[in-house]
Amino acid sequence: MSIIAGVSATIEASRQQWQDGYQRFQALATSSAAGDHLYLQLETISDELKRRIGQTFTLAEAVELYGGAERWATDVIAERAAVRGWPRDLAIVLDAAFYLYTRAAVDYLP
């Protein structure tokens, strides 16, 4: 497998994970009394994505940032959007934020 094929496979696997996370986020946000808190966390992570990766980026750059995202997302949510029980939903919120944000990548194809 070439390097390009390996990168493409990694991007596609990440995109699938993010999409699955977004679907779980939607289900949780609509079936939970904590929906407002989840949307606040989603907005907080999205703002941090904009700060860290900017508005012009590729999917490969997003995948690279995602590699260490749990560390910085934990700090960001703890500082700006912590509510009771937030750690259990962090992975879902993080995947949903990446799913939505990466739709603006310069090389995004639906």
Of 37, 35, 49, 27, residue with least CA distance to 100 = 49
pLDDT of the residue at 85? 83
pLDDT of the residue at 83? 84
Per-residue pLDDT reduced to its tens digit, 14-34: 999 999 999 999 999 998 788
Q: Is pLDDT at 5 greater than 50 in this prediction?
A: no
**Helix then strand then coil, % of the chain, to nearest 5:** 80, 0, 20
pLDDT of the residue at 33? 81
Euclidean distance between CA atoms 55 and 80, whole angstroms: 22
Euclidean distance between CA atoms 33 and 3, whole angstroms: 45
Structure tokens at 75: 């700090």
